[in-house]
Amino acid sequence: MIKEKPIIFSSESINAILEGRKTQTRRVVKYQPPENYHIIGRITSSTNSKNEGCVCWESDNGRVSHYCKIPRDVGDILWVRETWSQLDMDYRVVTGKLDIDDFEGCPIVYRADDNPEHFNYWRPSIYMPRKAARLFLKVTNIRAERLQIITEEDARSEGCIDFHDKIGDGKFDDVAEFDLTARDAFSELWDNLNKKRGYGWGLNPWVYVLEFEKISEPIGQ
């Protein structure tokens, strides 16, 4: 059964999706297996329904298994949560509450669209309701792997670009800003988002990889 689920992306990733550069995302596996465990694969069918959708690892001696549920499935529709707001929101600033149904016709604006800096009442992406979403993705593939296995091609599919792509924009202030490869750019972006959470690039955590395609808003969902 196809399900609709929310997923959060940063403004940088939103723009990469809109431009057609991002078709993958990597998320940390919630329960990391011990170091001496090796991956068996993702369970799509099992006599124990609790294990369906889980990734399975086994110890080197094969006696102990580790399972972790991936909260997505192939065919799922993901509606994207991003930083957003609505115009004409004066009294919402006072109440701190917003129900999108109360403000039918108020234009929705998105932080990723380079909106004016003086627009200072942005709603965090976590609070975006389904009705405010503009991006919808369909999951086409799922796999689990070590973070550092990512290839240059995969890094590009994550929306990252390399030195040769960046050099043309003329916006570099320092040579240290140069990422020689898209993989370098991805590792830097990953650390900016995840290192403080304890899942830095150098630790090479297990991640699940979602491949997706952008679709129109599902009708009747």
Q: What is the pLDDT of residue 1?
A: 65
DSSP, res 123: B
pLDDT at 65: 85
Residue 89: what are its φ and ψ, rounded to 5°? Answer: -115, 25
Distances in whole angstroms, Cα of residue 12 to Cα of each of 76, 109, 194: 23, 16, 15
Q: Quick one: pLDDT band at residue 14, thresholds 50, 70, 90?
A: very high
pLDDT in tens, 130-175: 999 999 999 999 999 999 999 999 999 999 987 655 444 444 444 4
Instruction: Label residue 178 by pLDDT band (50, 70, 90).
Output: low
25 SS3 class: strand
For residue 176, the model assigns a pLDDT of: 45
pLDDT at 105: 64
- Please state, rounded to an integer, the average pLDDT across all residues of the chain: 84
pLDDT value, residue 121: 78
Residue range 4-29+70-79+135-215, CATH number: 3.10.400.10
Give 41-93 pLDDT, tens digit per residue.
Answer: 888 888 888 888 889 999 988 777 898 988 899 999 999 999 998 876 554 44
Greatest mean pLDDT among 48-57, 99-108, 117-126 lies in 48-57
Q: What is the pLDDT averaged over residues 119-136?
A: 89
- Residue from 67, 87, 50, 70 nearest 3 by CA: 70
Q: Give the SS3 label for residue 78.
A: strand
The DSSP letter of residue 61 is: T
Q: pLDDT: is 2 or 89 the higher one?
A: 2
Residue 6 tokens, joined:
């929310």
**pLDDT of 120:** 66
Q: What residue segments make up the domains of the chain, in order of their start?
A: 4-29+70-79+135-215, 83-130
CA contacts within 13 A on the Cβ side of 203: 15
What is the spatial distance between Cα 142 and Cα 51, in angstroms, rounded to a whole number?
16
Confidence of residue 25 (pLDDT cuts 50, 70, 90): very high
Q: Say how far apart CA 133 and CA 6 lie, in whole Å.
A: 9
